[in-house]
Amino acid sequence: MVGKSEASKHCIGELCGEITDFSRLPSYGAARPPGLSSIMGGCGIAGCMDLNGGKIRGDKIARMLSIMSERENGLGSGYVAYGLFPDHKDEYCLQFFFDNEESMFAVEECLKKRGEITRDECVYTTNHTDIPLPHPMVWRYFFVPKSSSNPKYKDPDQCIVDLVMNINFSIHGAFCISSGKDMAVFKGNGFSYQIADYYDLSRYKAQMWCSHSRFPTNTPGWWAGAHPISLLDWSVCHNGEITSYGVNRKFVEMNGYKCTLLTDSEVITYTWDILVRKHGLPLQVAAFAMAPMYYRDMELMNDHNRQLAQQLRITYKEAFLNGPFSILVGRSRPEITMLAMADRKKLRPLIIGHNEDDGMIYAASEECAIRIADNDAYTWVTNPGNPMIARVGEGIIRYGTERPFEGAFNEQ
């Protein structure tokens, strides 16, 4: 475990020593900078997981990500770790960026109203960094929502979603960057190696890591806007530009989500949550809805699959992510799972690697990211729009080269 209470005190002391007056902080960490609404660009992604459930130290993923130095320009990078808090597995781990104490108090008040904070701590960050100031305060809460008689909040997940949406939308200077169980996001406005050093990732061990380095094209970086973009236990690392963003945003808004980051990657995260958690679609079926097959090719499917494929396209046409992308999606339930896929024209790179001997699975934008971690892994590329899915304890569920819906349902 990290972030013991002594460390927390020490950490806040340091922060206070550096910037005594919180109110003087420019709105650059959690509060959205004025004029910024959307971030697009070409990026690097990397992920690794131990199919046997063993723990991977954070410096390994940092090494994988940083090697793709041509894919970032220092305006954002981040990591997400799964299987991080075995002692707090049943509590939601909420991590926040705060620009000032007021926003922190406001958030804590809000949390106390909606449930119980079982533990809170400062997330370790180093002072010795060349990431330009200011840096937001990063705080972690383990949280259990109150059971509610309101049928809408019977589901604690929904309670968390609404809480996060409300805080991010309405509390100025506060931003919830991760809100899942047994996982946490570490991100910020710097190069991949700077962010890894800033949070000292080598002190964390996790069963799965996903990561992202950013090359934003037309907007300044922003701490909370860095990837992974996370909600509940979902995390998305996204390389690409969604040309259908206006349509996808409508989809998530119609389903009750507020776009607070206004990046195309944000809508991808929410879309996963809608399709899988709310609508109960299997992962690969949800992936099909986001990167569907051409109608022409559906004609070659059997009746059952064709009807399913057509209805998925019709029903979820607003969830269809058009334009080039490759994404890494992480989830901790029911078991820690990684999904990696590219768009249906395969306009962004994605390589998968697997080492049968030690049960490691890798996914990255470039082969070198896999090679630096493992010289012996077998590598392959997924088919356009076709997801690779791997799960701790179960192994590789899909290689990303199978036919659609293969193995998605009990009987087929």
Partner 1 sequence: MMSMSSNMINSALAASETVIDATGKDQYGRPIDYKIVNNEIRRAVSEGVKNITLTGVMGQRYIATAVDKKINISINGTPGNNLGAFMDGPFIEVFGNAQDMTGNTMSSGEIIVHGNAWDVTGLSMRGGKIFVKGNTGTRVGIHMKEFGQMSPHIVIGGRAGDYLGEYMAGGVILVLGENIPKQISPVGLSIGSGIHGGRIFIRGKVNANQLGVGAKLETVNDDDLKLINELIKEYESWFGSSSSEGDFVKVVPFSSRPFRGHFDSTPI
Partner 2 sequence: MNSDMWKVPDRFRPVISSLCITCKKCIKECSYDVLEFNNGAIHAKHGCVACQRCVEMCPQDAIEIQRVPETMAPHGTYTERHRRAILSQANSGGVLLSSCGTDIPYNSIFDDLLLDAAQVTNPAIDPLRETVETKTYLGSRNGSLRLSSEGSFAVKPGCGIMMDMPVMLGHVSLGAVSYNTQKALFMAARRLNILAGTGEGGLHRDFREFAPHLNSEVASGRFGVNPDFLKDVASIEIKIGQGAKPGHGGHLPGEKVSDLISETRMIPLGTDALSPYPHHDIYSIEDLEQLIATLKEAVNYEHPVGVKIAAVHNIAAIASGAVRAGADFITLDGFRGGTGSTPRIIRDHAGIPIEAAVAVVDKRLTEEGLRNRVTLCAGGSIRSSADMIKMIALGADVVGVCTAALIAMGCRLCQSCHLGKCSWGIATQKPDLVSRMDPELGATRVVRLLSAWNEELKEILGAMGIDSVESLVGNRDRLRYIGPNPRIADIMGIKHAGEGWG
> Would you name the residues annotated as active-site residues?
43
Tokens of 73: 């320009």
280's contact among partner 2, partner 1, none, with CB below 5 to 8 A by partner kind, is: partner 2
Helices (H) and strands (E) in the chain, counts: 11, 19
Closest approach of partner 1 to the CB of residue 400, in Å: 11
Strand partners, 388: 340
Closest approach of partner 2 to the CB of residue 153, in Å: 19
100 vs 239 by CB, closer to partner 2: 239
Tell me which residue of 253, 246, 210 sits closest to 365, measured CA to CA: 210
HSE-CB of 148 using CA atoms within 13 angstroms: 18
412 lines the binding site for partner 2 (CB under 8 A): yes
Q: Please give the Cα distance from 219 to 41 (Å, whole number).
A: 9
241 vs 266 by CB, closer to partner 2: 241
Closest approach of partner 2 to the CB of residue 180, in Å: 23
273 vs 366 by CB, closer to partner 1: 366
Residue of the chain from 154, 300, 394, 407 that contacts partner 1 (CB under 8 A): 300
Closest approach of partner 1 to the CB of residue 327, in Å: 16
Contact positions with partner 2 (CB under 8 A) in 221-250: 240-241, 243-247, 250
Closest approach of partner 1 to the CB of residue 346, in Å: 4
Stretch that binds partner 1, among 29-37, 160-168, 213-221, 360-368 (CB under 8 A): 360-368
HSE-CB of 309 using CA atoms within 13 angstroms: 20
368 lines the binding site for partner 1 (CB under 8 A): yes
345 lines the binding site for partner 2 (CB under 8 A): yes
In angstroms, what CA-CA distances link 213 with 30, 326, 397? Answer: 19, 13, 27
Q: Please give the Cα distance from 171 to 99 (Å, whole number).
A: 11
How many residues line the site for partner 1 (CB under 8 A)? 24
Contact positions with partner 1 (CB under 8 A) in 369-408: 369, 371-372, 379-381, 383-384
User: Which element (helix H / strand E) includes 50?
Assistant: strand 44-50
Tell me which residue of 1, 156, 146 sits closest to 88, measured CA to CA: 1
Written in H, E and C, the secondary structure of 8-39 is HHHHHHHHHHHCCCHHHCCCCCCCCCCCCCCC
3-state helix, strand, coil in the chain (%, to 5): 30, 25, 40
Do 92 and 143 form a contact (C-beta atoms < 8 A)? yes
80 vs 408 by CB, closer to partner 2: 408
Instruction: Report the interface residues with partner 1, using CB under 8 A.
Output: 63, 66-70, 191, 193, 297, 300, 346, 349, 351, 366-369, 371-372, 379-381, 383-384
Residues of this chain that interact with partner 2 (CB under 8 A) are: 35-38, 40-42, 217-219, 240-241, 243-247, 250-251, 253-256, 278-281, 285, 294-296, 304, 307-308, 310-318, 320, 322-324, 344-345, 347, 405, 408-412
